[in-house]
Structure 1
């Protein structure tokens, strides 16, 4: 009746009899329609409830309704505002649930998760009372009971649809029977004493959480652990929201008492943030987990959550302080009460960007220990893309620098332009690298430029570009290098997209030989990438160039220690992290990324700057054979070993 197989969603049990599959899908559709029917029946009742004074969730009293009138806001606008956020919360559960069903409607587990999300979204606490007014209590009780039972099975079987350990199916069944029978014997759970409710919750959560801990530590694969982390993140935000609610109402008792502060607390904090933004993280996290969509993006999400959570929380505090102070001043002079809201809002709008930037810097450096905060890395990558898109300047063509006459522009690098030049006496061709004019006033870049020349001039290897001289004419700094006629590997990749193994191996061997030699001389390149590898015309020899951020192994400092070292797409984890020792194995990682790209036509990690940063730090690269199935297993394993996160696990040479 069922079959087991590995699937993208992680669920492995599928019905093999067509009629069972059809019945399962039909039952899901029937329950969805019934739940949505109840929802649309309840919406008018909930809207009417929010317009009346009372003590139900987010109902106002008569004094607060009068305050709304003073601020030229009708109570129907307040009701619509609250109902909109409740619909967003419910809608996210329903949308994610339907999405999972569409993707995996042939799997028991995925259908179970889908229904669990849909029913938990629609039967939210905010609408339960309104749902009870639909006049169909038996159907309502049926769906509410089903919601609770499905939730039990979901918690016991997450994330792969199986009971682990196998005996956990018994407490799941026992709890399902209790959900069915206890209300008839002991009454509705809401009428039980707090102690009894607490004991029942512990008895319910204890075995299921224990099973999840066992699964995570003993059984789960790397991906299943990442799925569990997403679920924990979603649950964690809800717990934090409830904790914040308790702390805020304890610190400011006025938030629970009718009046202007409670009205502001409802509309600015509780409804939009604590009940909506932080709550919808749960269905999104479950959806990502089950669909395995960007599983390893969690660290970036946590990073952004910390930044924006701290910023929003701080600015809300500033808003309340500013509102309280301005309102007090207005009451003294008899001004318009709406002015307090306008002034407080203008203040937090003005503060948002500078506060966010400072918070991002602090969290990236102190919590995530990044060498450079994400904003700076993003700015650097954007600048690099703009430079790559710009047409290189050629204003020096025809002029002379020292003994060299510049003939034509060859290209543009990270720190300047490269020209084909000729020695005016010897008539020998050379390549002249000129530091970009806008960088000549930057002491750090001039030092880097000089460092590149000094380091490269000490290296004498057929697979490394030779550097002959360094000079300056007025404010123009230049470096005289060996001229190599040929094409860089970056341009080759743009033309061919991917190289066969037989064509890529000679290039990789040459670059590896260059790196072995440089490392033996105590030099780390730290920016190995296709555009820094030239293919010599004629013999096809690969030559490594651009030691712009190279470092001597025995140096006690660096000129670029405060920022990202290298190009992000090819940077090793230790180049991204602060307080990390960088040695030749960082070049092995860069060569691994380069080899991966040559052989598959793809970078191992793609996405936004933040996604790529944390992918380098945590995400295992996809198997190269996903893109190039013809690759031998030994080659794929060698690529994956070169890209391991811990330098000690990579090849030493």
Structure 2
């Protein structure tokens, strides 16, 4: 039985978290047993490698279960983290012991060969990247050579007459002493040739894939090839260098950076070229990296400080208590550090005007229902009936006044006490009162009754565009053109009157039936509209609008938006009307990064019958640079046909 997506993500988070904890704590445990600053630095370099593979691999598997690239990337951190634990168990075996228990034998065997988990994933990633499939069936020989070498190495190790620790300081008789060291040497050479053959085939596969690939896939492969070449170059230099030069800090640092570059290059492909459609993955990895780096400071301070204070009171083997205390101190700082890191990366590094935590909260689906808290009450002269809709900035009720049906929008009680929300609500009422256009909802009245702010507007009989698309699917080109023309006329009027809507979306477009059977589009909800030339921002740097239809410049700096932000949103509405689905799909964070970096999709990929001129008009409306879009909504509607 497959686990639910939520359970799967929880399990992956626990796995990655456990790996990170192990590889951060183990170096300090070893340092406490044998203090050596160069040794600690070397251990932390390997910790960085393991964490990089664990985080990127975990993110890929969380988004795409069963994706081979994610599985291959987790092989390295799982194997090396397990090797660290078993190596600690081996180091605890008393000197002089000659007969090991089965579990101790397993610990010696696994920890001695755990370096294989550094080598094993690399040919696999090269063979399968970026599609998760082999280029062709013939490249399976690379897998055959790799796993034959992997299996043979471990079988030979199992049959060796003598087993030793990873550092070679101690040894024990093997449980199955069938092969002497002289017999093993030629077998190791053969297995090494098999391993090198598998690596060569993986590199050749990557080169062949690169030559056949399209532009985007070539860009993905190019970065991975660069770091693979860097890694194997540094590895060969280290391998063939004399022993006295192998541990130089420069070589160690170059090796670490080249290995870390492999998951980071995959991450770069994800962010820059939309691999697996998880652009947000690298953003979260950066936040996690900042958190780890920052928390390492109080962890190290607590570790060395407490250890120094208790230097005469604790035996060296009790330093585990010091590690536990340091971990607790760092854990208590995790939440404030995470919030600070999230703001640092989102606002400073990416230049966004809100962080992804704000985004997730602001994009929650509104509640709707037949009855609301105010159903049956009277506000001013308006009797409230069923609830039509509910969101963060208001509840809309069907209401009556002397037999006339209208809609009444009220500010929820939780928002009345916030001056910013009350000011925005009153501003929407005044703004909408000043706009008189057949395709803009007509404001009738606004006021306050017993502490409840409300506005009364005409009741538009019909469905909004979202409901229409859900019920009927894609609309015809003629229907789309008719709706876009009317909304564009409303927007041009609002823009000429000095207002930018900033929240154009299908849910804010009502479709009112006329007596002659036709349909009028009516633009609703000027709650987040911006007054031209105004520098006052009621919303500060908070999240305003709907991310699915938000222009890139509105994501980065809301005070810089003009009428072309509404043109961008109208282009997205037109695309959705014709395609029956949004242009950009995913979580709010994914969609945000798509607005910022992903080229707009061509509607003809889903609807080949759309004329080239109409498709080109939509692409132009969705240009990332406002200067490349239409200057007005009317110009876009005319180009659409």
Same fold (TM over 0.5): yes
**Secondary structure class of the residue paired with 2:310:** helix
**2:528 alignment counterpart:** 549
Displacement of 1:416: 1.5
Distance 1:228 1:277, change over 3 A: closer
1:518 aligns with 2:494: yes
Do the aligned partners of 1:94 and 1:122 also contact (CA within 8 Å) in 2?
no
Distance 1:485 1:530, change over 3 A: same
Deviation per residue, 1:609-632 (Å, 9 max, x gap): 222111100101322222222222
Displacement of 1:410: 2.6
Distance 1:137 1:397, change over 3 A: closer
Alpha-carbon distance between aligned partners in 2 of 1:444 and 1:392, rounded to the nearest angstrom: 29
- Of residues 403, 409, 433 in structure 2, which corresponds to 1:457? 433
1:328 aligns with 2:308: yes
Deviation per residue, 1:439-481 (Å, 9 max, x gap): 1111111111011111111111100001122100122100011
Backbone CA RMSD of aligned residues? 4.6
**2:346 alignment counterpart:** 364
Displacement of 1:354: 1.9
Distance 1:416 1:151, change over 3 A: same
Matches within 5 A, 1:281-292: 281=263, 284=266
Alpha-carbon distance between aligned partners in 1 of 2:456 and 2:210, rounded to the nearest angstrom: 60
**Secondary structure class of the residue paired with 2:358:** helix
Do the aligned partners of 2:510 and 2:523 also contact (CA within 8 Å) in 1?
yes
Between the two proteins, the alignment pairs up a number of residues equal to 499
Alpha-carbon distance between aligned partners in 2 of 1:117 and 1:607, rounded to the nearest angstrom: 38
Alpha-carbon distance between aligned partners in 2 of 1:121 and 1:368, rounded to the nearest angstrom: 46
Alpha-carbon distance between aligned partners in 2 of 1:135 and 1:374, rounded to the nearest angstrom: 57
**1:398 alignment counterpart:** 376
Matches within 5 A, 1:202-217: none
Deviation per residue, 1:316-375 (Å, 9 max, x gap): 343232222222333322363321121112122222222122111011111110010112
Do the aligned partners of 1:226 and 1:295 also contact (CA within 8 Å) in 2?
no
Do the aligned partners of 2:548 and 2:584 also contact (CA within 8 Å) in 1?
yes
Deviation per residue, 1:268-308 (Å, 9 max, x gap): x99xx969993661685599799x8626745x343223221
Do the aligned partners of 1:644 and 1:650 also contact (CA within 8 Å) in 2?
yes
Q: Which runs of 5+ in 1 are unaligned?
A: 1-38, 54-58, 67-72, 163-219, 243-255, 258-268
Do the aligned partners of 1:91 and 1:121 also contact (CA within 8 Å) in 2?
no
**Secondary structure class of the residue paired with 1:409:** strand
- Of residues 489, 495, 500 in structure 1, which corresponds to 2:465? 489
**Secondary structure class of the residue paired with 2:296:** helix
**2:287 alignment counterpart:** 307
**Secondary structure class of the residue paired with 2:283:** helix
Q: What TM-score comes out, normalization by structure 1 length? A: 0.65
Distance 1:474 1:457, change over 3 A: same
Do the aligned partners of 1:459 and 1:518 also contact (CA within 8 Å) in 2?
yes
- Of residues 187, 201, 224 in structure 2, which corresponds to 1:136? 187
**1:444 alignment counterpart:** 420
1:650 aligns with 2:629: yes
Distance 1:342 1:52, change over 3 A: closer
Alpha-carbon distance between aligned partners in 2 of 1:409 and 1:76, rounded to the nearest angstrom: 67
Distance 1:225 1:370, change over 3 A: same
**Secondary structure class of the residue paired with 1:541:** strand
- Of residues 562, 575, 579 in structure 1, which corresponds to 2:541? 562
Q: What TM-score comes out, normalization by structure 2 length? A: 0.67
Distance 1:155 1:280, change over 3 A: closer
**2:397 alignment counterpart:** 419
Do the aligned partners of 2:498 and 2:531 also contact (CA within 8 Å) in 1?
yes
**Residue range with higher mean Cα deviation, 407-416 or 339-348:** 407-416
Alpha-carbon distance between aligned partners in 2 of 1:584 and 1:571, rounded to the nearest angstrom: 13
Distance 1:80 1:443, change over 3 A: farther
Alpha-carbon distance between aligned partners in 1 of 2:309 and 2:137, rounded to the nearest angstrom: 63
**Secondary structure class of the residue paired with 2:386:** strand
**2:599 alignment counterpart:** 620
Alpha-carbon distance between aligned partners in 2 of 1:117 and 1:435, rounded to the nearest angstrom: 67
Distance 1:435 1:237, change over 3 A: farther
Do the aligned partners of 2:370 and 2:388 also contact (CA within 8 Å) in 1?
no
Displacement of 1:139: 3.1
**Secondary structure class of the residue paired with 1:160:** helix
Matches within 5 A, 1:30-179: 80=110, 87=117, 90-91=120-121, 93-94=123-124, 97=127, 103-106=133-136, 111=139, 115=142, 135-143=186-194, 145-146=196-197, 149=200, 159-161=210-212
Do the aligned partners of 1:230 and 1:288 also contact (CA within 8 Å) in 2?
no
**Secondary structure class of the residue paired with 2:211:** coil
Alpha-carbon distance between aligned partners in 1 of 2:621 and 2:144, rounded to the nearest angstrom: 41
**Secondary structure class of the residue paired with 2:399:** strand
Alpha-carbon distance between aligned partners in 2 of 1:533 and 1:497, rounded to the nearest angstrom: 16
Q: Which runs of 5+ in 2 are unaligned?
A: 1-74, 97-102, 159-180, 236-246, 633-641
Displacement of 1:601: 1.3
Alpha-carbon distance between aligned partners in 2 of 1:642 and 1:400, rounded to the nearest angstrom: 45
1:380 aligns with 2:362: yes
**2:386 alignment counterpart:** 408
1:339 aligns with 2:321: yes
Deviation per residue, 1:421-455 (Å, 9 max, x gap): 2234xx43321111112111111111110111111
Distance 1:481 1:100, change over 3 A: closer
Alpha-carbon distance between aligned partners in 2 of 1:605 and 1:358, rounded to the nearest angstrom: 29
**Secondary structure class of the residue paired with 2:440:** coil
Alpha-carbon distance between aligned partners in 2 of 1:544 and 1:534, rounded to the nearest angstrom: 7
Displacement of 1:403: 2.1
**2:612 alignment counterpart:** 633
Displacement of 1:602: 1.4
Alpha-carbon distance between aligned partners in 2 of 1:611 and 1:318, rounded to the nearest angstrom: 33
